[in-house]
Structure 1
Amino acid sequence: MTLLTRRGFLAAGVAASAMVQFPRIGMAEPPAIGLRAASRTLDIDGRAASVWGLAGPSGQGLILDPGARFRVDLTNDLPEPTIIHWHGQIPPNAQDGVPDMPMPKLKPGETRSYDYAAIPGTYWMHSHIPKQEMRLLAAPLIVRSASDIAADRQEVVMFLHDFAFKSPEEVMEEIAGGHAPSGHEGMDHGAMPMKQPMAGMDHAGMSGHDMSGMSGMAAMQMDLNDYDWDAYLTNDRTLSDPEVIRVERDGRVLLRVVNAAAATVFWIDTGGVQARLVAVDGQGIQPLTGTRFGIAMAQRLDLEIELPGTGSWPILAIREGARERTGLILATAGAKVPKLTPLADQNAAAFDTDMAQEMRLIASDPLPAREVQTSRALMLGGTMQPYRWTIDDKVWGEHVPVTARSGERVEIMFHNMSMMGHPMHLHGHTFQVVEVNGRRFSGARRDTVYVPPMAMVTVALDAGEAARWMLHCHHMPHLETGMMTEFAITT
């Protein structure tokens, strides 16, 4: 599969046909972009795999040109109802894409129209039914800006998945039944010993170039991976047959990385070429230079890369706490393309256990200073046996909503009391990370923040449309077992 990777691709004159619940004004709009939730077949190391996806006019996913509205007709060609969430975008609540909040799922054969002002940046779209996302019902949603056009650089999408030949139902049964991942290196259930960092060490990495960090949690155990997936994919391909992106000599690349995995945190390793991290979750940050950056489920990274002359440059995504990896290769014409193995030489580190990476991310456009009107602390908890994941010791249906009035400045503190990390995602808003483990700072603006075991992370936001907005962990097995609540806004 060729993903939407080339600059200037898809001059999307996006418009959507009218619909009763989403009325529009005017008669001269261009036709809608058609988007289909449909089955497809992948070749996974020589074995056919039936998965789901989101097919636009030019393949999986959509790219919108600067200033274009998100005007899409979504058709459900699957054999069961579905609903798609436009992750990180801020549509009217009725178009957000959560079952019965407030719109029902699309029945097989049904079409629904969407029309809202798109936010520029690296985003994605996926089913908001966890087992469907585990079947790869997801795709990139890239909204280009005028500055992207002016930058004169090649844009490459790196869309990451974890994949199982077993059905999501079988995967969940194994996880809930105590299935212990092998880790392929004798790791016990993904657990790794946590060691106290050495005094004076730069936790952001050597000379600021390796952001893997070290843990500040002494004598603790954390669960990194609760399932061994059959394959790890970049743009639907494994490292046995990676996508090779042809680039120009001395070319400039904007690498848009999306972690669409159900339950895997990755390290993005640019190897022999330096990268500048310039945005996270579609929001600009003060640039950071390095060769290794972590990315939790549902998060995105924008990396600027200047290629030195001619050659080939593998860009790898390595599973945290393990050796499995996936990736793509940037290569100039005629360059020798290396053969890569699916296993690294050694286990990767755990991701950001002391939040060293997160604390180096500084918003380029921070929220304006305001008095906080509403604050709430949420306790993140859960256990592997029984497999149950909670917010304030409650699962969805028992939850107590976070409440605020539209326009209020709100702070939410996530306190993770479990031994697994949780990428926490809020619908309908961007927020700013403003405190980590008691330290205040002007952190990145995001829509998904990773909260490692025993950590405390506070985010600030201005409450938006008066509606019910989902707030949940983006680890799909955790979400499937109820790790979600809601942000209920009133006028």
Structure 2
Amino acid sequence: MVLDPGQRFRVDLTKNQDVGTIIHWHGQIPPNAQDGVPDMPMPLLAPGETRSYDFEAQPGTHWMHSHVPIQEMQLLAAPLIVRSAEDVAADRQEVVMFLHDFSFKSPEEVLAEIAGGHGGGRHGGHGGHGDVQPMQGMPMDGAGAMPGMDHSAMGHGAMGGMPMGSMMGMGDMAMDLNDYDWDAYLANDRTLADPEVVRVERGGRIRLRVINAAAATGFWIDTGSATARLVAVDGHPVRPLAGNRFGLAMGQRLDLEIDLPSEGGAWPILALREGAPERTGLILATPGAEVRRLDVLAEAEAPAFDTELAQEARLIASDALPDRQVDRSHMLILGGSMQPYVWTINGAVWGRHQPIIARSGERVVLSFHNMSMMGHPMHLHGHVFQVVGINGRRFAGALRDTVYVPPMSMVDVALDAGEAARWMLHCHHMPHLATGMMTEFAVTASVWSGRGGPDRAPRRPDPNPMLYCSCSSDV
């Protein structure tokens, strides 16, 4: 779906499948009732039901997907691009690369193999069996609690009770990557055996919008001989960063500007699976150019994604959050293990969690401290945050909605709490989410501050918005 500048997100969503579902508009900030999370507050759409959505769209590269983990693993997702006035005025061609990992097995089988230590992957063969069942419609009531398992001591993941300070700087010494070997890695639903070939002009400028919609795979985007500039992450502009290889974790997006040479040719844009030789991608080609076939396996494995947060540390927001006093801070310990396969926030799975609280309008800092040996892309619904610290070093980083936290690392983000409601906060690695790695950011209404006026509160949507368009989507 592509929206033009000023166009409202106005959609009638019809459920035609025989199972319930719900769609989350990842990167958008709708009213909480339209956010698309099971039972928070709206239930799954029943077969045959139609639900209407209407809110002000946030510009940038975003996407939409089912918020039932096993359905997202079945590729129930699509790009959601909201163009800005600058996009319309620019003399450039827009290209979208939508990335997936894919298995011919059912999501239930995939999760059972991962939980049982038989998912393949690299950097660890994890035997044994956990008592983990996939959670169909998370979040629900208390289904996230794993029967017969004591999660109270799991906040330190596989490292037991080792003190935090002694764990920093361990890098990827014992890092677990790719806990499942998927059957295929897709770019716009195609493999490199039959990639999409995008026709481009000689000397043209490309705006490449890359969306990592994979369930459990981080990628490096390699532009090869076509030098690129990273100009936006998660839909938000950053100070341009030149290069030809940029990484993104699950749920993240990046926008690249590429200036093509004046001569004709073909330029593969590849997505390299982190820590592995598999790759996918598309090809930019001028008319008549020779397009050579590329192998789905590279000659060497790609490195792990941003283990030292070197890429994140170089990103500077073009329009940072305004400076103001921090009203509230929270530490979130990310934990879990491969055996049993359970992932936690502050030592608890969903259903046994303690909400992360704030008041509407407060400036809040969330500190994600990963004490496990897998990386976690942490996504917060209904808000935009700014990365303001990496491993204790303060800086004014990128605006995001999904931040990657490598093993034994800490990332601080700042945000202004929005609508008073329950907002999901979770890992966007779907098997981690499905086995409990989710909590809620519970925002309550602002109160009179006693300092001469009410606390700051976000602007509410116009209750009688002008209708710009109407469109329909069938699921």
- TM-score, length-normalised on structure 1? 0.81
Q: Which residue of 2 aligns with 1:364?
A: 318
| SS of corresponding position for 1:357 | helix
Question: In terms of mean alpha carbon deviation, does 215-224 or 342-351 score higher?
Answer: 215-224
Preserved contact between residue 267 and residue 293 of structure 1 (Cα < 8 Å): yes
Preserved contact between residue 153 and residue 253 of structure 1 (Cα < 8 Å): yes
Distance 2:120 2:172 in 1: 22
Q: Which residue of 1 aligns with 2:107?
A: 168
Preserved contact between residue 216 and residue 353 of structure 1 (Cα < 8 Å): no
Preserved contact between residue 171 and residue 308 of structure 2 (Cα < 8 Å): no
Distance 1:467 1:180 in 2: 37
Preserved contact between residue 171 and residue 408 of structure 2 (Cα < 8 Å): no
Preserved contact between residue 180 and residue 188 of structure 1 (Cα < 8 Å): no
Find 1:415's aligned residue among 369, 373, 393: 369
1:236 aligned partner, one-letter code:
D
- Is residue 2:260 matched to residue 1:321? no
**CA shift in 2, pair 1:176/1:219, >3 Å:** closer
Distance 1:189 1:119 in 2: 42
Preserved contact between residue 380 and residue 414 of structure 1 (Cα < 8 Å): yes
**CA shift in 2, pair 1:244/1:79, >3 Å:** same
Q: Which residue of 2 aligns with 1:432?
A: 386
Distance 1:431 1:397 in 2: 25
| Number of residue equivalences | 403
- Tell me the alpha carbon deviations over residues 386-408 of structure 1, each in whole angstroms, 9 at most, x when there is no partner: 00000011000100011011000
- Tell me the alpha carbon deviations over residues 200-250 of structure 1, each in whole angstroms, 9 at most, x when there is no partner: xxxxxxxxxxxxxxx953682100110000000000000000000000111
Which structure carries more relative contact order (alpha carbon 8 Å, separation 6+)? 2
Distance 1:219 1:138 in 2: 31
Q: Which residue of 2 aligns with 1:355?
A: 309
Distance 2:100 2:14 in 1: 23
Query: CA RMSD for the aligned pairs?
Result: 1.2
Write the mapping of 1:427-466 to structure 2, written as runs, cut at 5 A: 427-466=381-420
Distance 1:399 1:477 in 2: 18
Distance 2:419 2:338 in 1: 36
Preserved contact between residue 189 and residue 223 of structure 1 (Cα < 8 Å): no
Distance 1:216 1:256 in 2: 33
Runs of 4+ aligned residues of structure 1 deviating over 3 Å after TM superposition are: 187-190
Find 2:194's aligned residue among 235, 241, 244: 241
Find 2:430's aligned residue among 473, 476, 479: 476
- Tell me the alpha carbon deviations over residues 398-455 of structure 1, each in whole angstroms, 9 at most, x when there is no partner: 0001101100000000000000000000000000000000000000000000000000
TM-superposed CA distance for 1:109, in Å, is 1.2
| SS of corresponding position for 2:367 | strand
Q: Which residue of 1 aligns with 2:234?
A: 281
TM-superposed CA distance for 1:182, in Å, is 5.0
TM-superposed CA distance for 1:157, in Å, is 0.3
- Is residue 2:96 matched to residue 1:157? yes
Find 2:174's aligned residue among 221, 226, 242: 221
1:234 aligned partner, one-letter code:
A
Structure ranking higher in strand proportion? 1
Preserved contact between residue 124 and residue 176 of structure 2 (Cα < 8 Å): no
Distance 2:421 2:17 in 1: 29
- Tell me the alpha carbon deviations over residues 5-60 of structure 1, each in whole angstroms, 9 at most, x when there is no partner: xxxxxxxxxxxxxxxxxxxxxxxxxxxxxxxxxxxxxxxxxxxxxxxxxxxxxxxx
| SS of corresponding position for 1:174 | helix
2:285 aligned partner, one-letter code:
A
Write the mapping of 1:292-303 to structure 2, written as runs, cut at 5 A: 292-303=245-256
| SS of corresponding position for 1:301 | strand
1:266 aligned partner, one-letter code:
F
Identical positions, percent: 74
Write the mapping of 1:44-123 to structure 2, written as runs, cut at 5 A: 62-123=1-62
Preserved contact between residue 437 and residue 456 of structure 1 (Cα < 8 Å): yes
Preserved contact between residue 422 and residue 442 of structure 2 (Cα < 8 Å): yes
2:187 aligned partner, one-letter code:
T
Find 1:342's aligned residue among 296, 316, 321: 296
Preserved contact between residue 266 and residue 289 of structure 2 (Cα < 8 Å): yes
Preserved contact between residue 189 and residue 225 of structure 1 (Cα < 8 Å): no
Distance 1:139 1:430 in 2: 21
| SS of corresponding position for 1:457 | strand
- Tell me the alpha carbon deviations over residues 243-268 of structure 1, each in whole angstroms, 9 at most, x when there is no partner: 00000111110000000000000000
Preserved contact between residue 381 and residue 423 of structure 2 (Cα < 8 Å): yes
Distance 1:172 1:445 in 2: 32
Find 2:355's aligned residue among 380, 401, 415: 401
Write the mapping of 1:135-284 to structure 2, written as runs, cut at 5 A: 135-181=74-120, 183=122, 188-189=124-125, 217=170, 220-284=173-237
Question: What are structure 2's unaligned runs of at least 5 residues?
Answer: 127-167, 446-475
Distance 1:347 1:361 in 2: 26
Preserved contact between residue 275 and residue 304 of structure 2 (Cα < 8 Å): yes
Distance 1:77 1:382 in 2: 37
Preserved contact between residue 117 and residue 125 of structure 2 (Cα < 8 Å): no
**CA shift in 2, pair 1:267/1:382, >3 Å:** same
1:175 aligned partner, one-letter code:
I
| SS of corresponding position for 1:398 | coil
Preserved contact between residue 278 and residue 287 of structure 1 (Cα < 8 Å): yes
Preserved contact between residue 110 and residue 119 of structure 2 (Cα < 8 Å): no
TM-superposed CA distance for 1:189, in Å, is 3.6
**CA shift in 2, pair 1:136/1:181, >3 Å:** same
Distance 2:125 2:325 in 1: 44
- Is residue 2:332 matched to residue 1:378? yes
Q: Which residue of 2 aligns with 1:17?
A: none
Distance 2:52 2:119 in 1: 43
| SS of corresponding position for 2:220 | strand
Q: Which residue of 1 aligns with 2:134?
A: none
Question: What are structure 1's unaligned runs of at least 5 residues?
Answer: 1-61, 191-214
- TM-score, length-normalised on structure 2? 0.84
Q: Which residue of 1 aligns with 2:151?
A: none
